[in-house]
Amino acid sequence: MALTRRQRARAGRGVQYAIAVAILLVVAFTADWAQIGRSFFDLEVAASLFPDVLTVALKNTIVFTALGFLLALGLGLVLALMRLSSVRVYRYAAGAYIEFFRGLPALLVVIAIGFGIPLAFGSNLDRTLSITLALGIVGSAYISETIRAGIQAVPAGQVEAARSLGMSPTRTMAFIVIPQAFRTVLPPLTNELILLTKDSSLAFLLGTTLEQQELAQFGRAALNQVRSMTPLLVVGLCYLIITIPLSYLARRLERRYGSAGTPKGAEV
């Protein structure tokens, strides 16, 4: 007898589960677990990384990310308003900036800021300033489009109601449109913060002192010293300390604001 659609789907899942179990069994019986333990789970090596991995590397990663995100948020808001401006020059300038920096890898931007500016102007930038500028420039190109979409999603009736109350266009944008837009774009902004956290690892390209090491540079230096993969595992866990709570926050914000449109109480 021919199988129904549900039976075929169930049979397909059964085959997939059987393949997954077979792969796990092959790995379990053929892997050299003793060598894996020495390479990835060396407790002595892991203990030697503390507390510097937290007090130096993790702290610097958070600082670089926070500074870069604040700069990206400010620039992104300005660019979004320029894209929506009635002045054609502003729209073209913002569009060119956004397309240019969204099309470039963050790696090239970090190198250009860290090495290009000193070569062009004959003066070295502070490392923290360099990575902040690089993250801010790259992040602003993406954040601006997110904010622009949020502004355009605000119902036109909100603007009309504010104007009917005698508010100027500038006050309407500042006190009515932008606050509602930010509620809408909070989840994607949180995701952008996660991306900037990972992009902060590019700071190792600019060289560093021991006091300025972020997680990626710290893990690479420790890896060269101990010849073990354990430092990379510890550093990866430190990144997860940052990104998992942010991912959870993004999901919560998306459930609260993402599908509900304008939040309750946002009406004029």
Amino acid making up residue 227: R
The domain limits of the chain are 43-258
pLDDT of 251 reads: 85
Tokens of 71: 């700069």
pLDDT tens for each residue of 7-51: 888 888 999 999 999 999 998 888 887 888 878 888 888 898 998
CA-CA distance, 180 to 150, in Å (whole number)? Answer: 8
- DSSP-assigned letters across all residues of 148-214: HHHHHHS-HHHHHHHHHTT--HHHHIIIIIHHHHHHHHHHHHHHHHHHHHHHGGGGGGG---GGG--
- The dihedral formed by the CA atoms of 240, 244, 245 and 249, expressed in degrees to the nearest 10: 150
What count of Cα atoms within 13 Å lies in the side-chain half-sphere of residue 148? 20
pTM confidence score: 0.83
Domain 43-258 is of which CATH architecture? Answer: Orthogonal Bundle (1.10)
**pLDDT for res 265:** 39
Residues of the chain with pLDDT under 50: 259-268
